[in-house]
Amino acid sequence: MVKLVEHLRSRGYSLFDAQLMNPHLARFGAYEIDDQSYQNLLQKALTKPCVFV
């Protein structure tokens, strides 16, 4: 998971939706947000250019 997030950040991604919170994700800095905050972050993320490969 750490390598995936590093890769995504290096490619311009700004949002990683893990769907379900758990202690393992919390160790790496994951946190829960409410739906409205998620929608706002998603709208911003969708306007950014990014490439996976």
In a domain? residue 10: yes
Domain count of the chain? 1
CA distances from 52 to 6, 18, 35, 49 (A): 12, 17, 25, 10
Residue of higher predicted confidence among 51 and 37: 37
In a domain? residue 52: no
What is the pLDDT, as a whole number, of residue 50?
87
pTM: predicted TM-score of the whole model, two decimal places: 0.75
pLDDT in tens, 2-49: 899 899 999 999 999 999 999 999 998 899 999 999 999 999 999 999
In a domain? residue 51: no
In a domain? residue 53: no
Query: What is the residue range of 30's domain?
Result: 2-46
- Whether 51 shows a pLDDT value over 90: the answer reads no
Q: Are 15 and 51 in contact (CB under 8 A)?
A: no
Planar angle of CA 21, 47, 3, nearest 5 degrees: 45
In a domain? residue 28: yes
